[in-house]
Amino acid sequence: MAMARNADIPQFGVLSGVKVVHATLSTAGPFAAEMMAEMGADVVWIENPFVLDPNRFAKAPSVGMAAESERRNQRSISLDIPTPEGKNILFSLIKEADVFLESSKGGQFEKWGLTDEVLWEINPKLVIAHMSGFGLTGDPTFVSRGCYDPIAQAFSGMLSLQGFPDRDPNPAQYLVTDYYAGMTAATAILGALYQVQKTGIGESIDIAQYEVAFRCQANRGPDYLNFKIQAEREGSRNQDIAGWGVYQCKDDNYVYLLILGGAIVKKAVKIFGLEYGKEDFPERTGLVLHGTHAAELLEEKIAEFCALYTAKEMEELFWPQGVPCCRVLTYADILDHPHYAARGSIVEWEAVEGSPYEGQKLKGPAFPARFKRNPSRIWRGCPTIGMDNEAVLKEAGFTSDEIAALYEKKVIYKAPPAAEKYKIVK
């Protein structure tokens, strides 16, 4: 597919008719925009003409595959925002938009004179979402700092929980706080859009990546805040409860076993041939704590079974009887898995013209929420840099001569086709 006009966007999904403009890069911001694009919104992505988005880069043969996965259904305009012409173009884009999303160091847009109030003068109903590592307010020495996923993990306390207790902290993979922040932003934006529908008054949202990560740690943070209990790194097994964690099997592959809950404990104990309803496993036992004789018995039986069975056999033995037990799947396992196939968890789309993968069908994860009446869909792959400059600008009221002048001043930019440059092996 070549340059796309608004009229080329198929009408589908629960966000059909919603227009989103975003000036974000890397993962968190674009993922929020991607969620809306896959629900049917018209999403225009403003790229920096001087700095390549990190997700567009990788070693061959996976050139820009992160962008191919996270920029589907979007249109690209490459624009130097802080120039007078760039600001004028931004104003033209947001005039008819419902959402403007940006990700930068806290206060960057204010430094450019693009405050919320200035944007609301152009569009009073606009939902504005600011995404940054440390937020727009707080200690000035932190507000102005850049941030990436492992930095957010470190600052939020999350990193202190990852890995084994006798080793260095090990960041959770892969880019989890980016995706947490992206999901949070998308949720907050949709809530704001609902409010705007009722009031006609725009909203501004301040999303700090570290706060999202701090929020997504279950009881670990509150345990310390209230009781000064510092959780230890657990490694691959729960440090409090037996039968909860990763176990290596006969074929050297792994399963994750989770014996938790009254009904599950009862079923697991019977599978292992232990006595349920007696001293070690009395009626209504909901979990088995380490440090008890019951835990010793349970862990011994798990070790015996793992020595006898492969990971697949363990899964087939426990799961049908109601005990959660799952093989640790690789991507090769996922590709051939019948449930992934039956649900359509993997989708295909065609790479756009000029992409390193031009002419190829690419595969990736499907949209993770299934709408019965207004399903999501993929109508386009990741656009090349500035691919839709002319279409987007003409929709905003710019003439061909004005667009040519913007190219001449280097306010906008369009990248040459990448397919020949990278010579991707099909």
Catalytic residue numbers read 178
Nearest-angstrom CA–CA distance, 35 and 263: 37
Cis status of the peptide bond prior to 124, with omega within 30 of 0:
no
Question: Using an 8 Å Cβ cutoff, are 147 and 209 in contact?
Answer: yes
- Please provide residue 112's backbone torsions phi and psi, each rounded to the nearest 5 degrees: -85, 0
The two structure tokens encoding residue 37: 């694009």
In 28-98, the DSSP E strands lie at 42-47, 74-79
Q: Which residues of 29-59 are buried (b: 16+ CB within 10 A; e: fewer)?
A: bbbbbbbbbbbbbbbbbbbebeeebebbeee
Cis (ω within 30 of 0) for the bond into 174?
yes
Q: Of 170, 173, 143, give the one whose Cα is nearest residue 159.
A: 170
Task: Name the residue among 382, 360, 416 with its Cα closest to residue 64.
Answer: 382
Tell the burial category of 87 from Cβ atoms under 10 Å away from its Cβ (0-12, 13-18, 19+).
middle
